[in-house]
Chain A
Amino acid sequence: MSLTKTDIRNLILAAAALAICALLPLGDNGYWLGLGVTIAMFTTLATSWALFSGPTHYISLATAAFFGVGTYVTGLGIDALPFWSLVAIAGLIGAVLAALVGLATLRLSGVYFVIFTLGLAELVRQSITWVQNNTGQKGLYVLTDLDEAGIYWWLLGLAAAVFLTGWLIGRSRLGFALRVIGDDETVAAHSGINTARAKVLLFMLPGAVAAMTGAILAPRYVYIEPSLAFAPILSFQVVIMALLGGASRLWGPLVGVIPFTFLLEAVSSNFPNQTTLVIGIAFLVIVYLLPGGFVGLLGKILHRLNAREGA
């Protein structure tokens, strides 16, 4: 693997950006840090989501399922194990669960896959509730000393790992195979690509990342209950943010997450009685006006500029 000058420059720029982001808790420990946690959380989730769904065009609504599993790992283990090991265990369980789901469903395509992933959160939630019900589990409380700044740094670290992984995959044979699958699965199969294996491998990544995100955020919620841990809205938010940015570039979801978080914040603070309604309208506007996301918009603008120069 050889790095070009552009690669090295990009890596340095990314590292600098990460360092600047890491300084946020030193500047503000309240409102902006709170928004920072939200942005870091959705950046991590949406970027890892797009790593799989971007090239393959498989829309996964399983984020809430993996996220919920992660919060439960922390909820159940916080009294027995150190926090970092719980994050690692959550990642492992998320990856294994994603592999099982992938093996069962990724041979299906299109809408079958979407429906299955949507149902997965409910399936996992009911399974966990069933176990709790039969063991007479009391409520799960996560009381730690981890504060907002700590959670923010954990999420930032995870986000950096996701970006690095995404960048490496993009340069690898696996990344190339996935782009071929996304363009035409039949052609990919005929070219000797083991399409099922490639898809399962890559699906494990968003699974693990979402579970780790859930594990990191559990101390923020203090009390873990199924309806809050497995809220299906999370899956949709991640998809919408990723699509707003554009799932075809590694940095696409990031440019979706940041404006969307500020939009949600502005709506919730200015329309306390119509929050859900205004958010719904915003979704419609985004879908109609920006079908390709910000990445698509940028592409169009560049294309137009080039055309003008050519003429």
Chain B
Amino acid sequence: MNRRPFLKLVSALTIATALAATAASAETIRIGAVAPKTGPLAGGATVTQWPSIQLWVNQVNAAGGLTVDGEKMMIELIEYDDQTNPGETIKAVQRLATQDDANFIIAPYGTGLNLAAAPLFDRYGYPQIAVSAITDQQADLAAKFSNMFFTLGTTTALAADVVKVLSGMRDAGQMGNKVAMVNVADAFGIELATAAKPLFEEAGFDIVYETSYPLGTQDLSPVIKGAAAAAPDAFVAWSYPPDTFGLTEQAMIENLDVKAFYTAVATPFPSYGTRFGAAAEGILGAGGVNPASPAFMEYAAAHEAVTGAKPDYWASATTYASLEILGQAIEAVGLDRAAVSAHLKESTFETILGPISFDENNSNAAFWTVGQWQGGVFKGVASRGRDGTVPVILKDGWE
């Protein structure tokens, strides 16, 4: 008999047993994460959601773990791909709660997937600190799912602050009051357009061009040409990632002559700045951060060092902040989920965005709403209760 393989096997077994013993003595905190790695929302989730999770777990474990009842506990991350399918999100949360015995679960990605998971988070008592779930129904949802928290703002606030920024430019005499407004004909695009239209009219704007296009439209030149023919002062698009890029590209080709150009989702993505370079200067978009704050700069540097990619200028930092909040709550009250949820409702948390607390509707009332590309960086120009907004600049051509 050849002894070597046998010896190898024995030594491997010994090491494995030893490892298992150490693992058992130092308990870990099991944290589950479910979000798209494939499917329509994978593009957004791999920019905004997954890298921030990876960074946070990496940093916490590098520091020796979270302090629970005076003892350091490492985080064990359990990841699942929901394929952008609510049925899969439900199965994964179910699996995390009952098979993996996860101590906590990070909120999923996207409004639809967060809400599909909400009944399960509620049933098993997991706090759900949702980020990319922007809705005006926060009061109803918080009443129904008492452990669900909202961090990124409301649909109406996002739309209203665009109107406010444009009103400010008009009242300062920088531009006229003609607006071209378009939207992608899909859930969030329709909601934003529906919220914005009466606000524009109330603010005395003249909507000279209004249209919508189906999700996935490849040729957006009729939209930009139609808008250009109406000679607006401002162009506002309630758009999704593919058409945010498509409309900007088309506006460059047509040399759309406006003083303000706004596209919604994905405008704060670093890939947007890379793709359009100097032409992006002065473009407004949904979201924003204070990129000059030391906390954000430190986060962005660590994000790039650990994940190899830059964070976006909106929801990335909020996703990271939501994890900081979860970590602080666990350190404050331990692994009891009901206690963590109660703590979330009553405390204020120090995050890279500044202090965050939740109101009676479980909503964070301080968030960014409008940002603008200035000098290759997407800077917040409007917010609800956040410091560091910069003055808005005029869109000056596409060169």
Contacts and interface: CB of A to CB of B under 8 A. Distances in A.
Partners in one complex: yes
Interface stretch (A100-108, A166-174, A266-274, A298-306): A266-274
B90 A272 contact: no
Given A133-B183, A139-B188, A233-B85, 8 more contacts: A30-B94, A31-B98, A34-B91, A136-B190, A225-B187, A227-B186, A228-B85, A273-B37
A268 B194 contact: no
Nearest to A42: B87
B242 to A, nearest CB: 12
A268 B91 CA distance: 9
Given A129-B185, A133-B190, A268 B88 contact: yes
Nearest to B41: A227
A186 interface: no
B215 A139 contact: no
Contacts of A130: 185
B98 A133 contact: no
A221 B115 contact: yes
Which 6 A-B residue pairings sit nearest by Cβ, starting from the closest? Answer: A223-B115, A225-B187, A31-B98, A136-B194, A222-B115, A34-B94
B40 interface: yes
A231 interface: yes
B79 to A, nearest CB: 5
A269 B92 CA distance: 8
Interface residues of A, number: 35
Interface in A126-154: 126, 129-130, 132-133, 136-139, 141, 143, 147-148
Contacts of A35: 91
Contacts of B112: 221, 223, 225, 227-228
Nearest to B95: A269
Interface string A255-274: 00000000001001100110
A276 interface: yes
A195 interface: no
A133 B184 CA distance: 9
| Candidate in B94, B111, B136, B193 with the most chain A CB atoms within 10 angstroms | B94
B270 interface: no
A148 B183 CA distance: 36
A216 B97 CA distance: 24
B22 interface: no
Nearest to A141: B137
A132 B97 CA distance: 36
Contacts of A132: 185, 190
Interface in B91-123: 91-92, 94-95, 97-99, 111-112, 115-116, 118-119, 123
